[in-house]
Amino acid sequence: MPDPTPALPPLFPTIAPLRSGMLPVDELHTLYWEEVGNPQGIPVVFLHGGPGAGLSPHHRRFFDPRHYRVILFDQRGAGQSTPLGEVRNNTTQLLVDDIEKLRALMGIEQWLVFGGSWGSTLALAYGEAHPERCLGFILRGIFLCTPLEVDWFIDGAQWFHPEIHEEFAAPIPEDERGDLLQAYYKRIMDDDPAVYWPAVRGWSRFEGRRVFLLPQPEEAPCDTLDLGIGRLEAHYMANMAFFEDDQLLRNIGRIAHLPATIVQGRYDVICPPFTAWRLHKAWPGSVVKMVPDAGHGAMEAGICRELVAATEQFRRFRRFD
């Protein structure tokens, strides 16, 4: 999910990739990837949000580049991966396979898995499919893509942001407003740009205005972000991320032996704390860092501090307290 960036809290210095490339994963999709930091450092894979939000240069800066080998990539349909906004051949299971292809390309045996929002969803799905490849997890703004969470994302918004929800619903005819997800999904997937562009921009704006605890200046529309976010979020939510009922929590035993830090904004209205708490209670060895003055954004000061603290603790001790 998108992270518009206010004035940044302390992070590691801006860093350029050591190398980058494009990885074809099937006949349709090619993924952009990049590597930063120390080639002999602790391997870590960064999983961005959305789905569809793509990478930001700021994402490289949660990790001490002297000690980490950081692998980042744009997931199918996002960012610099091609084709942008493509929902064909785009499921959670295929994204998990992509992570394994990237790991093999990099010659990495095991790595730390770092993901926020939808990235936390994908991190858990990957870990449960390949626990032997994971050193541990740093997760933020937990999203398990259950029906309750999807309903909250769409209609729960009116409890805290009634004016934003009203604006989101306004373009939809009244007889379709009982199911805004399907109404938007139908328009977002339309072949006519005159239909899908207003829908993807409306969806992206609906989410973006609720990310931070405190309002941020609105950024100008971005075609890459709006199309990636609008198309892929609607696609995954309409299909409940291609999961069985509460699948990620039911299978948590596959990774429960691994260390995990969960960073959660107390006032996150995109992915409320209840889900992070459910995950923590199901994962006995996990540690929760509830940030008292934050919403959903990774770049909010308190969340950023906890994420950096987690990467620093893991590199020192390979565990979390």
Instruction: Name beta bridge partners: 43.
Output: 69
161: annotated active-site residue = no
User: Which tokens go with 128?
Assistant: 């449960």
CA distance 57 to 43: 18
Six-digit token string for 140: 């933020």
User: Which residue pairs from 150-159 have beta carbons closer than 8 angstroms and sit at least 24 positions apart in sequence?
Assistant: 150/181, 150/237, 150/240, 152/272, 153/207, 153/237, 153/270, 154/180, 154/181, 154/237, 155/180, 156/269, 156/272, 157/206, 157/210, 157/269
Which residues have CB under 8 Å from 106's CB, separation 6+? 35, 43, 71
Q: Which of 56, 81, 117, 286 is catalytic?
A: 117
Q: Is 214 helix (H, G, I), strand (E, B) or coil?
A: coil
3-state secondary structure of 123: helix
Tell me which residue of 309, 312, 307, 304 sits closest to 6, measured CA to CA: 304
Whole-Å CA distances, 20 to 16, 42, 96, 103: 10, 18, 20, 14
Sheet holding 134-140, edge to edge: 19-24, 30-37, 68-73, 42-47, 111-116, 134-140, 260-265, 287-291
296 flagged as catalytic: yes
User: Which of the following is catalytic: 48, 59, 280, 296?
Assistant: 296
Are 146 and 153 in contact, with CB atoms under 8 Å apart? no
Which residue is catalytic, options 64, 268, 280, 286?
268
Is-catalytic flag, 268?
yes
Residues with catalytic roles: 117, 268, 296
